[in-house]
Each structure stands twice: as C-alpha cells, then as structure tokens.
Structure 1
Amino acid sequence: MSSLTFAPAHQLARMIRNREVSAVEVLNAYLAQIAKHNSKLNAICTLDEENAYLRARLADEALAKGENWGALHGVPITIKDIFETAGLLTTAGYIPLKDYVPQQDATVVARLRTAGAVILGKTNMAELAGDYQSTNSLFPQVNNPWNLDYTAGGSSGGSAAAVAAGLSSLDLGNDIAGSVRQPAHFCGVYGLKPTDRRISTAGQIPEVPGMPVCLRQMMTVGCFARSLEDIRLCFSLIAGSDIRRPDVPPIPLDNPSGKSLQNLKIAWLDEWVEVPVASEIRVAMSAIAQTLTQAGVQIERWLPKNFDLSKTLNLYGRMAAYINIYAQPVDRYNLRRSWQQIFRTATQGEKELRKLGDFSRLLPDLLNPRLKGYFEVLTERDRFTTQMDEALEPWDAWLTPVAATPAFTHRPAWSAIEIDGRPYPHAVANGAYTMPFNLSGHPAVVIPIGHTQNGLPIGMQVVGKRWREMELLAIAQELDKVINAFRSPFEII
C-alpha cells in the first residue's frame, strides 16, 4: 500500500480511472503514511480526513456510473495554508487568522477540485509567507524529511516536505522570492515558479481578508511534485485567465518545440561571483554540465552581459518594499517580526555580503512610500525584464543554482548562515539566486541533481523564456532523463 504514496499523481489518476485501485484505497495509503511520519515532520498542519473520505467515496461511485471528473479524479493532494479553502481552516500561520474558515476556494484550489482532486488538508508554512524557514506561532516548525535537524525551507516548507515524504502527491505553493524553488531544492523534489501573472492569485494570503490586493507584481503561484510530468499536469490545470483577477492575461499555453537533447542550446552558471555557493553545490553543477556535454547537449558557461547582481537585488528590494508595505497587516506583533528581519539582515553575516541583502536600505521607501517612486521602480523593472528577454533569446534554457547552500539546521528567523566558513546574511544565502527571476518575471523549474556528503538534496534551477512554460518543462524533462537524480528520503516497502 505504501508504494501508492510514492507513485506519480498522473499514474495514480490512471490507476483509479482504470479501476486498478480505488480512490478510497489510495486515500487510505496516504493517511497511513501521514500517521506514520507527519508527527515528526509537521508538514501537514490541518488534516481534513472526514471530507477527504467523503470525496474519495464519491469519486469511486462516479467512476462506477461511468463519470470522470477530470485529470486528477480521486487523487489525494494537499494545499499550502496560504490558499483559501472553502469550509477548511486557512491560517497562513498567522495568529489573527487562527480561526479563519473561508467561504470560497482560491481560484487555483477550485480548479484542482474541478479536475477531481481529493484535498487531504493544508500544509505548514512560514508565517504570512515571510521567511526561508517554515516556522510560525500556530504550528510546530517543519522538519526536513532527509534530516529532522534541518529546515525544509520556506515559505512553502510544508509543501515540499509533504511531497518528498509521500504524504501528498501534489501541492500548491507561492513564490515571490524563492518560496517554491528553495524548499524544492532543500527537500529534493520538483518545483515550478511560472511566468509572472500566468496564474491567478485570487484567494491567496498574505493580503489578509479585507485588505486591498497589493502583490500585483512578482508574486506567483507554483506547484510541487515528484515528477516533471505531474508539474506539467498541475500547471496546465491551474494556469489561465480568471474573472477574479482581470490582470491575468488570457494567453494560451505554448506548444513545446520538441527539440532533441542534441539540438538544445543551454547556458549554465555555477555561482554568482558576488555570492559564491557551497562547494558541494558548485561541484554538482559542474558535474551536471559535464554529464550534459557527454550526452550531446550544446552547453556553455554564461552570464548576461552587463548583469549587475547588486543593482538587481537592490531593485528587487525596492519593488518588494512598495508592494508589501500595504499588503502586510499593521499590528504590533507583525511590526515586531518585520523589524527583527530588517535588523538581522542588516547586522548579521559578512560585511560585503550584507551590502547585497541589507533590508535597512529600503527604510526610506517603507517609511515614506511615494507614488512617483513606485512608478519609477516599475519602469526600472520593465527595463530589466526587457534586458533579460533579449539576453535569454539565443538560449533554450539557463541552468543556475537555487540557493547558496543546501538545507541548513534550524535557527532563529533570519539568522546568518555559514557557508564554507563564511557567514552569509540570511536573505543573500537563500534569495540571491531566485529573486532576480521574480523581478524579471521569467519562469523557472527546480530539478534534483544530487546530494551532499551528509545526504541532503541539491537542486538546480532551469530558467526559461517568459510565457513558455510548456517548452521549459519539456526541456527540463529531457535534462532530467540524463541527470536522473530524484530519490525518496524513505524506503518504499
């Protein structure tokens, strides 16, 4: 039975559809896996067993009558606790929302329900999606399934841990600074951040209910899975325009070119000069470049001309300041948490590295936001996106690290992280390789490429052209066939 919990979602859907196994049997397998492991991982914070059983039984009855709800008919999934779920507790790990039960699903949740998914429950996360670890004041911290002493990442740590440990077949996350990609890298699963505004954010916190919608740039909805085919399936189900978000354009999904490995032109980089990665990540990236070269891929070490990481991260920070200033609740508790984040990133870590990720430089914009300043930042962002579009045009994809470090041990929020003997500011270590692509809006998928000597996963970021996610996923799938590094942290019995 436990082998069912590590089968890909699309395979489970086919097995249920062909009556090889019932939806209730699959649900039972997942609930057994959750009972066995979740108390150690704290990946699932709210379990909805009663309604999941009702939905699974209805799924089996529908098939018996010849009805098929969709591509995920009867397949158990989980949802990050940042997305509203009708009739099911949604807290975003934030104390004022500890009893919040929405009346309506987030758009992406509704689309997965329509496709036949069985929602097991909600996955744990960083409070209001505001950290690279998944800790909050409502639920226990999320532990990494590869080593419980290590973080699963954030803010979607519960999502990545649940998928890695076989507690869920798919999970939804959101990503404004790496919240899908970093946990996928830390937990050894696949994760997608799509093009900016490709997927509706309706029904997503951290804009708490009743507040205006402020996160209109850089915030994306993504997904986690144990296969790229499942990522493709989930993405295709949730992407598209939405009457609740008129700014999501009705752009159809692209058709992959079908290029063979030998016809791909791939750029790669093992580290930014300003933010060196852990030696084991650099070695893994170099090994992948060599493996792909031997497989006939045209691959070249590359960095865009005139790419200035310091200016890019500064622009990202100013953009984030403007869109977050009114999105975050103004209460003593949240203000104290925010000031703690600013103080630690400004004072902890090596001085030169602090210059890249010092949030204190954003205080003028935070304390005195100006409409003109917001428009100036938007204009600069447009310019950067155009530059990245032009730079990436000759390439099919760009391979980069996901973060400067593999998973690290649990620590106080926003504390410095030591990498090969150097103390890195928290935001730089975790966000320097992800934030540029939130700023530019380009899609990126994380695939596993190996493990450290301590057995912790290493992921790689595959960046593609805007609005070309299906092409990006097709390329990633070709690369993944050669790399073939996905592993489960548990033995399948």
Structure 2
Amino acid sequence: MSDLVFASACQLAQMIRDRQVSAVEVLDAYLAQIAKHNSKLNAICTLDENNARSAAKQADEALLRGENWGALHGVPITVKDLFETAGLRTTAGSISLKDYLPQHDATVVKRLCSAGAILLGKTNVGDLAGGYQGLNDVFPRVNNPWNLSYTPGGTSSGGAAAIAAGLSPLDLCSDFGGSIRQPAHFCGIYGFKPTDRRVPTTGHIPEVPGAPHCMRQMLTVGGLARSIEDLSLCLQLIAGADIAQPDISPVPLDQPSDRLLQTRQIAWSDEWSFYPVAGEIKSVIQSVATKLTEAGVTLKKWVPNFDFLAAWQTYYKLAAYNLIYAQSLAASDIRKQLSFLFRDVFASLVISLVSVYLSP
C-alpha cells in the first residue's frame, strides 16, 4: 500500500493502463492512508468517497472495453478548496461559503477530469485565500506532516500536507503571493507556479460567486506533486485558452530545448542581501552548484541588486487593484481580509525599514 500512495501520478497512470493495479485498488490505498492520517493533518477538508469509488469502478470497466480516458485514467487527485466543483461544496475556508454547492466545475478541474483523473476530495486552505498557515473558521487548522506543531504554509496548506503524507499524488492549486511556492517548500515537495495568463482561473475563488471578473494579474493555477514529471503533465493538461476568459491567449506551450547542458551558463546564489538563508538550504544549493560544475556547466555566483521596498510597494498596489472587487462582502470576511492585509503590510514595512537602515 505504501508503494502505491507514494508513487507519482504518472507512475500510477501507467500501472493502471498496464493492468498492474486497478483504479479501485489505487483508490482504496489512498482512502486507507487518509483514514489513518488525515484526522491529525486536516489536509483534506471534504472527501468525496462515494463518487470517487463509482468513478474508479467505471475507469476499470472502461479499460476492459479498450477505452482510455486520457493521461490520468483512473488516477485519484485532490483539488484546493478554492476551485468550484459541481455538486461538491466549495467553501474557500469562509463561513459565508460553508454550504456553497457550485453548479459547474472550474475549467481546470474539468480539464483534469476529462483526462481521466478521479476527484478524491478538496484540500484545506487559508481563509478566503488569505494567510500563510492554513487557518479558517470552517475546518480545523492544517498541520505539517513532518511535525504536527509546525505549519505547512499556505494558502495551499492542505494540498501540500496531503501530497507530503501520501494522501494524494497530485493537487490542483493556485498562487497569488506564494500560495504554491511557500507550502511546497515547507512540506518538502514540488510546486509550480505557471506564467501569468497561461492557465484559466474560471471558477476560482476569489472571485467570490457573483463578483465581477477582476483578477487580471498575479493569480495563477498550478500543481503540487512529488515529481517534476507530474507537474509537467498537469500543466500540459490545464493550460490553454478558455472561452470564458478571453484574456487567456491561445498560445501553445513551448517544447523543452534539446540544447546540451554543457553549453549553458547559469547564474546562482546561496544568499540574499539583508535576508539570511538557513544553513541547510545553503548546503543544498551549494551541492547542486558543485554537481552542475562537474557536469560541465558554466556557473557564475551572482547576488542581484534588488530593491525590495519598490517591489513591496508594487505588489500591494497590484494586490489591492486585483482584490478590491473579488472578495466577499460579508462583514466577517471583510474584517479578516483587512486584518490580514494590515499584518502583511506592517511586516513588509518593518522589513523595508530594516533594509534601508542596514544599506551602505
């Protein structure tokens, strides 16, 4: 069972296609892992066991008829509880949406399911996509599987914890200001934030239901997984134009270059002005640099001259512009969002002042 729940999504798909294991057996392995660990992690907030069992059985029957649903045929996946899922509650971690049952799937959910994926459940989030610790008033706090007293990061908190603990092989998630990147780092897994406007956000909260479409920059949809191969496949399946979002251009994904590694030049750094880097992280980066050098790559150590104060100011201008109409108008949600923004702005102000004080 442990071999199955820690296999990659691509490996599971191949095993199911080759009849080495059935979709039902894979699903049962994940359900057993969830039953064993999720009560301590609170990673999966809504489990869709009955529909998942039905879909897994249908996936096996389809293979017997010679039918292949796609690249993820019979593979269970989880979805961040910010994406609308038809008939399955989507709360965004907000009391005002605790009973919200969407009528349609978000575009990216539909695309993964069209490729044969089986929706296993929804993963827990920070309140209305805010905060960095997986806290909301609908579900219990998400805990880091490596240490239950630690945070898994956020806002893709449950997704990162679920992937790290073997509760899911692939989690569909989103990133506005670090929501994929931070929890991937905190939980020791892979995360990918695609280029802006590569992947549709139709059916993502925020915007809250009924709000105008105003998230025009910064919000991206990507994945969390235990392998780079899974993230690459996920992007191929979810990227592309969407009739509901004319600002998502129909540009094909670039093919990886076949240029030899030895012909490349790479700038690298294990430090950053005014921001200390943990010794373990520096050690890993230095190890990678050594291996690349041994492989014949030309490396140059470089610490960019970066204006953090200007970056923070630009970030909050864009964030305010994008979020002004996207959030819930419920009084409790407004208080939470204002509180979060105040803490974030105050922290960034302190960091900026320290940077200015310490600069030569």
What TM bracket, shorter-length normalisation? over 0.9
Q: 1:344 and 2:348 equivalent?
A: no
The equivalences for 1:259-338 within 5 A come to: 259-304=259-304, 307-338=306-337
Gaps of 5+ in 1: 358-493
Separation in 1, partners of 2:62, 2:91: 32
Separation in 2, partners of 1:15, 1:131: 38
> Residue type matched to 1:220 in 2?
T
Provide closer, same or farther for how the CA distance between residues 352 and 274 of structure 1 changes in structure 2, counting only shifts above 3 A.
farther
Separation in 1, partners of 2:53, 2:178: 34
Deviation at 1:101, TM superposition (A): 0.8
Gaps of 5+ in 2: 356-360
Q: Residue 345 of structure 1 contacts residue 354 of structure 1 at CA under 8 Å; is this kept in 2? A: no
> Residue type matched to 1:33 in 2?
Q
Deviation at 1:105, TM superposition (A): 0.4
The equivalences for 1:170-249 within 5 A come to: 170-249=170-249
Q: Residue 313 of structure 1 contacts residue 356 of structure 1 at CA under 8 Å; is this kept in 2? A: no
Deviation at 1:347, TM superposition (A): 5.1
* Number of residue-to-residue matches in the alignment: 355
Alignment partner of 1:163: what SS? helix
> Residue type matched to 2:337 in 1?
S
What do the CA deviations read for 1:268-297 (whole angstroms, capped 9, x no partner)? 222331333334333432333233223322
Separation in 1, partners of 2:223, 2:132: 17
Q: 1:149 and 2:152 equivalent?
A: no
Corresponding residue number in structure 2 for 1:253: 253
Q: Residue 309 of structure 2 contacts residue 352 of structure 2 at CA under 8 Å; is this kept in 1? A: no
Provide closer, same or farther for how the CA distance between residues 342 and 244 of structure 1 changes in structure 2, counting only shifts above 3 A.
closer
Separation in 1, partners of 2:354, 2:216: 24
The equivalences for 1:43-192 within 5 A come to: 43-192=43-192
Separation in 2, partners of 1:55, 1:347: 48
What do the CA deviations read for 1:226-258 (whole angstroms, capped 9, x no partner)? 111111111100011111111000001111112
Q: Residue 308 of structure 2 contacts residue 352 of structure 2 at CA under 8 Å; is this kept in 1? A: no
Q: 1:353 and 2:351 equivalent?
A: yes
Normalised TM-score (structure 1): 0.69
Separation in 2, partners of 1:15, 1:356: 54
What do the CA deviations read for 1:77-108 (whole angstroms, capped 9, x no partner)? 00000000111111110111101111100000
Q: Residue 2 of structure 1 contacts residue 30 of structure 1 at CA under 8 Å; is this kept in 2? A: no
Provide closer, same or farther for how the CA distance between residues 106 and 347 of structure 1 changes in structure 2, counting only shifts above 3 A.
closer
Separation in 2, partners of 1:69, 1:36: 30
Separation in 1, partners of 2:327, 2:278: 33
Corresponding residue number in structure 2 for 1:446: none
Q: Residue 164 of structure 2 contacts residue 226 of structure 2 at CA under 8 Å; is this kept in 1? A: yes
Normalised TM-score (structure 2): 0.94
Corresponding residue number in structure 2 for 1:419: none
Task: Indicate the larger mover: 14-23 or 340-349.
Answer: 340-349
Higher strand fraction: Structure 1 or Structure 2? 1
> Residue type matched to 1:166 in 2?
G
Q: Residue 23 of structure 2 contacts residue 59 of structure 2 at CA under 8 Å; is this kept in 1? A: yes
Which structure has more relative contact order (CA 8 Å, sep 6+)? It is 1
Provide closer, same or farther for how the CA distance between residues 21 and 150 of structure 1 changes in structure 2, counting only shifts above 3 A.
same
Q: Residue 81 of structure 1 contacts residue 90 of structure 1 at CA under 8 Å; is this kept in 2? A: yes
Deviation at 1:302, TM superposition (A): 2.4
Separation in 2, partners of 1:283, 1:310: 28
Corresponding residue number in structure 2 for 1:17: 17
Alignment partner of 1:198: what SS? coil
Alignment partner of 1:46: what SS? strand
> Residue type matched to 2:180 in 1?
V
Provide closer, same or farther for how the CA distance between residues 356 and 173 of structure 1 changes in structure 2, counting only shifts above 3 A.
farther
Alignment partner of 2:77: what SS? strand
> Residue type matched to 1:318 in 2?
K
| C-alpha RMSD of matched pairs (Å) | 1.8
Provide closer, same or farther for how the CA distance between residues 342 and 224 of structure 1 changes in structure 2, counting only shifts above 3 A.
closer
